[in-house]
């Protein structure tokens, strides 16, 4: 092999490396929104308020405040007498304390890589109440067939985070922690 | 040491029973003051299983808590596990009057469609307490 050929192959290999890492890099960028801006600790900050975990978590998964913007939490906490068809009234004092916690940790107040993506799928004045119907949520689950979630008696709906996301309570929703009842691990 | 621990364990059972009894008798006294009385576990049991037409179809207390109070229930919408209501297997039940009233308010409105009367609440407590 002559010197020119060796140089050529090295150059080619170098170009390929740069090109491939470029693709990987851009994917990473897309996946994490703002690359490097937030530590890869969890997807959404976990629930830190014990009262919230008890009061709200006795009926359903205690959704992390980072799933919704402040305007949504205010609307939701102001209509607890009709909470998705059920009465979930709280004493005024408790309601106020929990509202403060939710609002103080809302997606638009305490941003992280996940909440940025949640917000970017919302109009500025949109105040959704159902986390399971967020544009972000639908997009993330678009490839999951109904038989695994809606028609799966052990899951039922996208609102049962912890049914498949084994580390949901800790704020982790990445693929590694997925275990769909009756189907097992899921990879994109 | 072992004997001491056993003594403590046996000591705790009646303690929790007393706590539940205290909270319930306080609540019942309050309902009596509102004009209710002669609380009946039998009536409570009947109401527990009574179906009420709500937006999501027919619902009863048992829809989420189950008909057997010594067993855990499951929230009919979210599937969340609900610890047994029977104080005999779940000594924490009926020990906190504020918690009891909070859930009466919510669940009577959700299930029956309106707040429970003092009589109804007393009958429910009488029934739950016998389990």
Report whether B86 contacts B69 (CB < 8 A).
yes
Name the token pair of A145.
């067939």
- Quote the pLDDT of residue A112: 83
Please compute the mean of the pLDDT values over residues B5-27 and round it to a whole number. 66
pLDDT, one tens digit per residue, over B32-73 is 999 999 999 999 999 999 999 988 789 999 999 999 999 999
Can you tell me the distance from the alpha carbon of B107 to that of B15, in angstroms, rounded to the nearest whole number? Answer: 28
Whether A77 shows a pLDDT value over 60: the answer reads yes
Q: Which stretches of chain B are assigned E, i.e. beta strand?
A: 52-54, 57-59, 73-74, 81-82
Can you tell me the distance from the alpha carbon of B71 to that of A168, in angstroms, rounded to the nearest whole number? Answer: 27
Contacts of A160 in chain B (CB under 8 A): 78-79
A19-23, A113-117, A182-186, B107-111: which has the minimum mean pLDDT? A19-23
Of B77, B78, B109, the CB nearest to A87: B109
Return the bridge partners of A165, or none. A178
Q: Which value, in Å, is the radius of gyration of the alpha carbons in chain A?
A: 21
pLDDT, one tens digit per residue, over A39-58 is 455 689 999 999 999 999 99
Report whether B84 contacts B90 (CB < 8 A).
yes
**Better-predicted residue by pLDDT, A57 or B11:** A57
**Better-predicted residue by pLDDT, B106 or A110:** B106
Contacts of A20 (CB under 8 A, 6+ apart): none
Contacts of B65 in chain A (CB under 8 A): none
Mutate to test the interface with A, among B54, B79, B115, B116 (most CBs of A within 10 A): B79
What's phi and psi for B71, nearest 5 deg?
-110, 155
How many other CB atoms are found less than 10 A from the CB of residue A142? 7
Looking at every residue in chain A, the average pLDDT score rounds to: 85
- Quote the pLDDT of residue B21: 77
Report whether B122 contacts B114 (CB < 8 A).
no
- Quote the pLDDT of residue A29: 40
Three-state DSSP class for residue A165: strand
Can you tell me the distance from the alpha carbon of A4 to that of A9, in angstroms, rounded to the nearest whole number? Answer: 9
Please compute the mean of the pLDDT values over residues A59-64 and round it to a whole number. 96
A185: left (phi over 0), alpha (psi -120 to 50) or beta: beta
Can you tell me the distance from the alpha carbon of B38 to that of B59, in angstroms, rounded to the nearest whole number? Answer: 27
Chain A residues in contact with chain B using a Cβ-Cβ cutoff of 8 Å: 58-61, 81, 84-91, 156, 159-160, 163
pLDDT, one tens digit per residue, over A130-180 is 999 999 999 999 999 999 999 999 999 999 999 999 999 999 998 889 999
How far lies A34's CA from each of A19, A31, A138, in Å? 21, 9, 21
Whether A105 shows a pLDDT value over 70: the answer reads yes
Helix runs in B34-56, H state only: 41-49
Name the token pair of A5.
């050929």
Grade residue A6 by pLDDT with cuts at 50, 70 and 90. Answer: low
As for the ipTM of the complex, it is: 0.78
Q: Is the minimum CB–CB distance between B78 and chain A shorter than 8 Å?
A: yes
């Amino acid at each position: 092999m002559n010197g020119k050929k060796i140089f050529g192959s090295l150059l080619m290999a170098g170009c390929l490396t740069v090109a491939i890492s470029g693709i990987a890099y851009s994917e990473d960028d897309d996946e994490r929104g703002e690359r490097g801006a937030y530590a890869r600790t969890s997807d959404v900050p976990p629930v830190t308020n014990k009262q919230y975990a008890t009061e709200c978590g006795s009926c359903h998964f205690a959704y992390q405040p980072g799933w919704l913007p402040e305007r949504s939490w205010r609307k939701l906490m102001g209509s607890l007498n009709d909470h998705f068809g059920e009465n979930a009234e709280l004493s005024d004092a408790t309601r106020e304390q929990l509202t403060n916690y939710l609002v103080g940790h809302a997606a638009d107040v305490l941003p992280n890589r996940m909440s940025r993506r949640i917000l970017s799928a919302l109009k500025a004045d949109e105040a959704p109440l159902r986390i399971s119907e967020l544009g972000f949520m639908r997009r993330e689950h678009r490839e999951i067939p109904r038989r695994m979630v809606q028609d799966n008696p052990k899951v039922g709906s996208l609102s049962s985070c912890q049914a498949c996301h084994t580390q949901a309570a800790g704020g982790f929703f990445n693929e590694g922690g997925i275990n769909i009842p009756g189907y097992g691990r899921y990879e994109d | 040491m072992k004997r001491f621990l056993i003594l403590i364990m046996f000591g705790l059972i009646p303690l929790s029973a007393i706590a539940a009894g205290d909270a319930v008798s306080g609540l019942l006294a309050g309902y009596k003051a509102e004009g209710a009385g002669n609380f009946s576990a039998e009536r409570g049991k009947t109401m527990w299983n009574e179906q009420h037409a709500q937006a999501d179809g027919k619902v009863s207390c048992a829809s989420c808590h189950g008909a057997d109070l010594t067993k855990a229930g499951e929230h009919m919408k979210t599937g969340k596990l609900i610890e047994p209501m029977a104080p005999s297997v779940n000594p924490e039940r009926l020990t906190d009057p504020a918690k009891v009233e909070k859930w009466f308010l919510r669940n009577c409105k959700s299930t029956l469609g309106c707040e429970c009367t003092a009589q109804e609440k007393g009958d429910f407590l009488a029934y739950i307490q016998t389990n």
